[in-house]
Amino acid sequence: MESVDGNFAMVQMGMMRMRINISDLEVVNEPLDIRHTRSIFTDTTEQVAKFNNKLDIRGMRLDEAIKTVEDFLDQALVSNADSVRILHGKGSGALAQRCESQTPRNTMTIKNVSHPAEDFGGNGVTIAQF
């Protein structure tokens, strides 16, 4: 504790300074056990190795499919994928239109959007190349 100002104390923890009401403080008999290691760890190499460049959104509601495609495209970029394949089916065409409309926001990363030959899904599949 740095200083006391009336009912408040100035406390510094690392680079953070806080003004805390004295009544919120407790006296402790033993020092707290402080971890000096990070509690969050991500292994991007493992994420890249596990990335599957195919996504099946058939049967999803439009709002659910939009969020899923956005997350999938983000993961593809993080994983440094060359291309992705989104299986949306033909149906009414709403999912296909939305998959294609997602790409203008990502024009700096997505170079081409296309559909494969009819034998490989045709208009029921969208392929995005980065």
Residue bearing the bigger pLDDT, 80 or 15: 80
Does residue 12 register a pLDDT over 90?
no
Domain boundaries, the chain: 45-129
Does residue 54 register a pLDDT over 90?
yes
4 confidence band (pLDDT: 50, 70, 90)? low
Range with top average pLDDT, 7-16, 43-52, 64-73, 86-95: 64-73
- Measured CA to CA, the distance from residue 38 to residue 59 in angstroms comes to 40
**What CATH number does domain 45-129 carry, 3.40.50.300, 3.30.1370.110, 3.40.50.80, 1.10.443.10?**
3.30.1370.110
Does residue 89 register a pLDDT over 80?
yes
Q: What is the 3-state secondary structure (H, E, C) of 74-128?
A: HHHHHCCCCEEEEECCCCCCHHHHHHHHHHHHHCCCCCEEECCCHHHCHHHEEEE
The pLDDT value given to residue 98: 72
Residue type, 2: E
